[in-house]
Amino acid sequence: MAVKAVILVGGPSRGTRFRPLSMNLPKPLFPVAGRPIIWHPIAALAKVKEVTEILLIGFFEDFVFRDFLDACSMEFPNIHFKYLREYQALGTAGGIYHFRNEILRHSPESFFVLHADVCCSYPLAEMLAFHKQQGRKGTIMGTRVNRADANRYGCLVADTDTYEVLHYVEKPESFISNLISCGLCLFDYTIFDTFHAALDSYSRMTNEDDNCNQTDEAYGVLRLEQDVLRPMAAQHDLSVYITSGFWRQIKPAGSAVAANASYLEQMLHERPADLANSQAQRAEIIGAVYIHPSAQVDPTAKIGPNVSIGPRVTVGKGVRVKNSIVLDGVEIKPFSCVLNSVIGWRSKLGTWCRVEGTPEVSQHDAEGLTRAGIKNQSLTILGQEVVVADECIIRNCIVLPNKELRNCYHDEILM
């Protein structure tokens, strides 16, 4: 029986935390490990033989994903791709419900729902087998996190023997469980009854809510986590598939670097031939490094680990790049050093520059950026077409596009 997938890609007003990188490219298309963020779940879905169709749902304009989906159709010829545009923000489940006829066409047995801003090892075939074996209406992917971090996510309480989800709470104030939702679900086609019921009860609830006087517009708005998963748990309809593979959210711009590292590590184990090696590149390569074939890297450069270098990038003599993403068309002049940073499209770094961020220790460090109103530590992000003069150090800074930096900066957001 066929299985479909829905990837929730959001819209241009979303992903503000991904600025300044989302100012020039929709976040789902931002390249990590040499491929757009949403290519990674798509490639994982394509490996599941039952998957026949992948639908992107979001409120970007239609043309945004056109080229990307064309390329996907070429790369994964057995899968049908389609972008479904929401004209109204209906919430994560509202959009799915709105396009239920599209999803149910050709009678799939079940469908995956994925959030685009997740970086994950995507053990989808295993999850599908588990779902069939469990026989509940829905399966959610869960992972264990540090106790202290659990309240940033949707927390699950599950029966350890039956894997039934007993309780679901979105971002609880107190500690509930260190098992959290990965933002990745698998539903049987019958799930739309639950959506429908949720929609009815949700609109009744909002009608009764004094704070909500936009009831007309609010109809049809449905949140997947709170409005669908919670009642499913209450009705014994939800299982949890616990993964021990890597998982992280891609929220602030700096988290792209960590996602890049995770995917590169995965490539190192699964398809090392796609990565750079010292012999082929002639430069010194450390660990997992992706270098686009059209990039020019001087043999005296030292690259890696966890570096992606995009198309048409020029890396000069004696350059060092570590734990960073270097985007298309960047030029790095000789003897410069790039550590823990994202270098935006067509940016230019002079000679002996040092562009440096503070590496994340846990995945929440990137959010520490403006914690308590004080900027403490972060990766350095240069937006598109930023120019850094010779010998300058740019450390722990976020630089908006088209800035020309002639001085050294530390711990600043440069408008």
Partner 1 sequence: MKALILVGGFGTRLRPLTLTKPKPLVEFANRPMILHQIEALVKAGVTDIVLAVNYRPEVMVSVLQRYEKEYGVTITFSVESEPLGTAGPLALAKDILAKDDSPFFVLNSDVICDFPFEALRDFHVQHGQEGTIVVTKVEEPSKYGVVVTKPGATMIDRFVEKPVEFVGNRINAGIYIFNPDILTRIPLRPTSIEKEIFPVMASDCNLHCFDLEGFWMDVGQPKDFLTGTCLYLASVAKRSPEQLASPSESYVHGGHVLVHPTATIGKDCKIGPNVVIGPNVVIGDGVRLQRCVLLDSVRVKDFAWVRNSIVGWNSSVGRWSRLEGVTVLGDDVSVSDEIYVNGGSVLPHKTISANVTEPKIIM
* Residues found near partner 1 in the complex (CB under 8 A): 300, 302, 317-318, 320, 322, 334-335, 337, 339, 351-352, 354, 356, 391, 393, 395, 410
Nearest residue (CB) to partner 1, 4 versus 354: 354
Rounded to a whole number of angstroms, the minimum distance from the CB of residue 395 to partner 1 is 7
Cβ proximity of 119 and 31 under 8 Å: no
Q: Where are the beta strands (DSSP E) in 221-306?
A: 238-242, 247-249, 284-285, 289-291, 296-297, 302-303
Nearest residue (CB) to partner 1, 157 versus 286: 286
Nearest residue (CB) to partner 1, 287 versus 334: 334
Nearest residue (CB) to partner 1, 48 versus 353: 353
Rounded to a whole number of angstroms, the minimum distance from the CB of residue 17 to partner 1 is 25
Please give the Cα distance from 321 to 245 (Å, whole number): 27
Rounded to a whole number of angstroms, the minimum distance from the CB of residue 89 to partner 1 is 42
Please give the Cα distance from 28 to 351 (Å, whole number): 33
Rounded to a whole number of angstroms, the minimum distance from the CB of residue 363 to partner 1 is 21
Residues 6+ apart with CB under 8 A from 55: 4, 5, 6, 7, 81, 82, 83, 84, 99, 102, 103
Pairing of strands 165-170, 247-249: unpaired
Rounded to a whole number of angstroms, the minimum distance from the CB of residue 394 to partner 1 is 11
Six-digit token pair at 233?
Answer: 């748990």
319: Cα separation from own chain's centroid:
29
Six-digit token pair at 415?
Answer: 């408008």
Nearest residue (CB) to partner 1, 408 versus 414: 408
Rounded to a whole number of angstroms, the minimum distance from the CB of residue 340 to partner 1 is 10
